């Protein structure tokens, strides 16, 4: 059976992603990203007023879901 995989090839090649890009990367909504931040399940990188997410942190979050 084919898996439903989100195409993230359009995302920037850099390590840091915006809230919208992180939501696309995890296939969830922006509000869910903010909920995960509030619950401290993912930690943002703040540069000035920008809220960004490290791809490695998002991958670690995904790996943690697999282990649960």
pLDDT tens for 35-64 read 999 999 999 999 999 999 999 999 999 999
Give pLDDT, residue 10: 63
Question: Which H/E stretch holds residue 60?
Answer: helix 55-67
Round to whole Å and give the CA distance between 36 and 4. Answer: 23
Give pLDDT, residue 15: 92
Give pLDDT, residue 1: 44
Quote the domain boundaries for residue 24. 16-67
- Of the chain, the end-to-end C-alpha distance in Å amounts to 24
pLDDT tens for 15-42 read 999 999 999 999 999 999 999 999 999 9
Q: Is there a domain that residue 4 lies in?
A: no
Q: Is there a domain that residue 43 lies in?
A: yes
Give pLDDT, residue 7: 59
Q: Is there a domain that residue 11 lies in?
A: no
Q: Is there a domain that residue 36 lies in?
A: yes
| Number of structural domains the chain divides into | 1
Q: pTM higher than 0.85, yes or no?
A: no
Q: Is there a domain that residue 2 lies in?
A: no
């Amino acid at each position: 059976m084919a898996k439903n995989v989100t195409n993230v090839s359009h995302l920037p090649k850099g390590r840091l992603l915006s809230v919208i890009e992180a939501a696309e990367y995890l296939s969830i909504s922006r509000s869910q990203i903010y909920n995960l931040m509030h619950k401290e399940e993912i930690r943002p990188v703040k540069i000035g007023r920008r809220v960004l997410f490290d791809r490695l942190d998002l991958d670690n979050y995904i790996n943690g879901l697999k282990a649960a």
